[in-house]
Structure 1
Amino acid sequence: MSERITRAVIRRAQPGDAATIARVEVDSWRAAYLGLVPASDLNALSTQVREASWRRILTHGAATGSRAWLLDAGDAVLGFASAGPTRDEDDDPTEVGELYTIYLLPAAWGRGLGAALLDTAQADLARRRHRAMTIWVLEGNTRARRFYELAGFGRDGARRRARVGAGTLPEIRYRRAL
């Protein structure tokens, strides 16, 4: 794995990448949310359903300002991220960008690759003249929260309940200036 990682590049995702993104997303969810999300919900995740959703997002994302990037090691995609204008009603989408998703295969965790994807999304939002960036994270996801805090994000006080599987879980919003 480490040899592939040294040759990984970040590239813009295309509609043809939907199946790969879905696989990374499902594999990452099953590892990252174990103990936070009921196992029955994690086991019910479908790469086919996620693929259809990602195909729509990647095909029509330009209309909403959404963009996605892959961490591509040539023979395997190790992770992805997506970002665009905020979807939150309490922020101005011309001023605030949002990191919608960032997921890595579990074997790629802890190697600085998530930071490279985050940097790519931040740079893109800054080029588009967003002044701040937000991300919603499950309150119980201490690993992700630590990652965002190390990257300069701080909690901004916003909270909500996110639909996850058959239930809802508390999320908190993080923010940083760009």
Structure 2
Amino acid sequence: MSERITRAVIRRAQPADAAAIARVEVDSWRAAYLGLVPAGDLNILSTQAREASWRRILSHGAATGTRAWTLSAEGAVLGFASAGPTRDEDDDPCNVGELYTIYLLPAAWGRGLGAALLDTAQADVARRRHRTMTIWVLEGNTRARRFYELSGFTPDGARRRARVGAGSLPEVRYRRAL
């Protein structure tokens, strides 16, 4: 990939994007979670399994309110995000939207592309009349936490354990008024 990205295009993801999304997700996990997630769990990540999952999500997302977007430059998908109504029992899905995922290829980090994807997801959630947006993030993922904090999100005190590979890791919830 070139050092400078002159034009990025964000559009709604389609089932045909499942393979590219899976590749971004697996590559991003392997880079972002190195040292947080056991290496064995990262090594067994399968783009084929993630592709099948994303194909289902993108084919049936309308039923759950899930929407996803890809970010491409020079004809290649560099990142994606997905959002919809909150899945948390302590929040009202009519008022609270949730950023489910946001990932970029590691070579695209630090270029403002994640902020563009986040802005797209936030605008969509706001158009659906949600007043607040949340995101769950691994507690030890300081890079992501800094990104969300710079984007106006703050920890709201909620914590949970996320199943990751054979184990679980602590997550914290961030929240932002829209």
Structure 1: unaligned runs, 5 residues or longer: none
Could you tell me the TM-score, scaled by structure 2's length? 0.98
Q: In the alignment, residue 86 of structure 1 is paired with which amino acid? A: T
**Contact 1:86–1:97, Cα closer than 8 Å, also in 2:** yes
Query: Per-residue deviation at 1:3?
Result: 6.4
Deviation sequence 1:57-116 (CA, Å, 0-9, x none)? 000000111000000114211100000000000000010000000000000000100000
CA distance in structure 1 between the partners assigned to 2:8 and 2:142 by the alignment: 27
Call closer, same or farther: CA 1:4–1:51 in 2, change over 3 Å.
Answer: farther
Query: Per-residue deviation at 1:5?
Result: 2.1
Tell me what 2:49 maps to. 49
Poorly superposed stretches of 4+, deviation over 4 Å? none
Report whether the alignment pairs 1:153 with 2:153.
yes
**Contact 1:4–1:73, Cα closer than 8 Å, also in 2:** no
Moved more, 72-81 or 17-26: 72-81
Tell me what 2:12 maps to. 12
CA distance in structure 2 between the partners assigned to 1:6 and 1:68 by the alignment: 23
Report whether the alignment pairs 1:135 with 2:135.
yes
CA distance in structure 1 between the partners assigned to 2:94 and 2:70 by the alignment: 25
Could you tell me the TM-score, scaled by structure 1's length? 0.98
Call closer, same or farther: CA 1:63–1:147 in 2, change over 3 Å.
Answer: same
* SS of alignment partner, residue 36 of structure 2: coil
**Contact 1:85–1:97, Cα closer than 8 Å, also in 2:** yes
Provide the aligned C-alpha RMSD in A: 0.9
What percentage of aligned pairs have identical amino acids? 89
CA distance in structure 2 between the partners assigned to 1:3 and 1:141 by the alignment: 25
CA distance in structure 2 between the partners assigned to 1:81 and 1:7 by the alignment: 18
Structure 2: unaligned runs, 5 residues or longer: none
CA distance in structure 1 between the partners assigned to 2:41 and 2:102 by the alignment: 20
* SS of alignment partner, residue 174 of structure 2: strand
CA distance in structure 1 between the partners assigned to 2:74 and 2:22 by the alignment: 18
Tell me what 2:86 maps to. 86
Query: Per-residue deviation at 1:117?
Result: 0.2
Report whether the alignment pairs 1:111 with 2:90.
no
CA distance in structure 2 between the partners assigned to 1:50 and 1:2 by the alignment: 27
Tell me what 2:165 maps to. 165
